[in-house]
Structure 1
Amino acid sequence: MKMILGLCLLCLAMALRTAAPLLKTEKMEDMAAPEGEVEVLMFGVIQFSESLKYVYETTEAKIDKISQKMKSHEQTLKKLGRQTEQAAEVEEQMKEVIQLLQAQMAKQQADTKTTKDWLANMELEEAELRTKVEKLEKHVINSVPPTSVKDLQERAEEITDVLRGLQHLTEFQKEMIETQNEKLSKLLQSDIAV
């Protein structure tokens, strides 16, 4: 507003300045400008000041709008920057989880292979033990009948020991198979979850 008032005063001064040379050459009574010219000049100054005021106000409004838009864009850029950082963190975490899962799968595969090898050995040992039991049974059948109750008890104890060993071996194998089945099912469930 001060700027508009200053411009009005400047225009008035300019108008008076252009009239000043006339003042020097004419007499005092002729120095007064005609009332119509002063009114036109004042009307022009008022119109000019209103135009300047309008330009000032519209320019100020435009600058405010531009400032608001810039602030909005800055906030959007900051938000995008935070989202980008979060996405990078999530990606890094996913990579770590994938590496961990790959390591677990490799370990599970190694454990499974070890267990399969162990089970194959146990099956061989079981087959050998059965062969021994069958040989022992044939030996008992084909051998001379025991001459005493004591011999018969010793043979029965030998057979019982062999059968107990076979039973323990079978139970141990069963437990190992159940343990491996549990590990494999957990591994499959974790693979499905991923």
Structure 2
Amino acid sequence: MKPILVLFLLFLAAHAGPVTKARKTEAAGATQQEVNLLMFGIIQFSQAFKYVHETTEAKMEKIGQILRRQEETLQTLGTQTEQAAEVEKEMKEVLQRIQAQMAEQQARTRMTKDWLAGVEQEEAELQTKVKRLEMNVNSSAPGSVKELQGRAQEHGYILRGLQELIQLQRENINSQDDQLLKLQRKVKRSSSTSVSSV
């Protein structure tokens, strides 16, 4: 049963009851006026109730829209978080590969430098031998001079070959150093990008 009808029935029940014959006409007039007032009140209450119902429904619709927008925003944030995690994972893999390449390049450079140091030592020993041979040539008998000169010339060829080889190895080391610098720059860029993305 509707609340308005319940109120109306309660009002009627409250004002119903035995009425004396003397007061029937007066009571009938009063009752009609009260009924009119009650009906006016019921209409006002009905309109107020309708307004409250409509405004509450509109508010609920607005709240529903806000909740849907928030849910969409949360879904977007979740997708972006997953993408950021994937990018970070890829950056870490790239960084690990670059670091492995750097370690390998550094090992090669160390080996080349060690080998070059050995070759330079051999060059210094050969130069010492050549100087000794020259001294021996100057102080030896004329018969053995040609033999000593041949040996000195042979050592000179070996020495020049070693010098060319040393030059090549120096260029190789410089190239490897350049590659290492490039790898280090890549690592720094990758590290800074990874930090900013997170």
Q: TM-score, normalised by structure 2?
A: 0.73
Q: Aligned residue for 2:163?
A: 170
How is 1:74-85 mapped onto 2 (pairs within 5 angstroms)?
Answer: 74-85=71-82
Give the equivalent residue in structure 2 for 1:64: 61
168, 183, 189: which one aligns with 2:182: 189
Determine if contact 1:7/1:49 at 8 Å carries over to the other structure.
no
Q: Which runs of 5+ in 2 are unaligned?
A: 189-198
Cα drift, residue 189 of structure 1: 3.3
Number of equivalences: 182
Q: 2:119 aligns with which of 119, 122, 130?
A: 122
Deviations 1:84-110 (A, max 9, x none): 212212221232233223212221221
Overall identity of the aligned pairs, in %: 47
- Corresponding position of 2:101: 104
Residues 133, 148 of structure 2: 8 Å contact kept: no
Report the Cα distance in structure 2 between the residues aligned to 1:7 and 1:156, rounded to whole angstroms: 132
Match of 1:142 among 139, 142, 145: 139
Q: Which has the higher contact order (CA 8 A, sep 6+)?
A: 2
Aligned residue in 2 for 1:3 = none
- Deviation of 1:15 after TM superposition, in Å, equals 7.3
Cα distance change on mapping 1:127 and 1:161 into 2, 3 Å: same
Q: Are the counterparts in 2 of residues 105 and 187 from structure 1 also a CA contact under 8 Å?
A: yes
Q: Which digits, 9 at most, give the CA deviation of each residue in 1:90-136, with x for residues without a partner?
A: 22123223322321222122112211210121012112221222232
> Would you identify which runs of 4 or more consecutive aligned residues in structure 1 move more than 6 Å?
none
CA distance in structure 2 between the partners assigned to 1:68 and 1:92 by the alignment: 36
TM-score w.r.t. structure 1 length?
0.74
The Cα RMSD (Å) is: 3.4
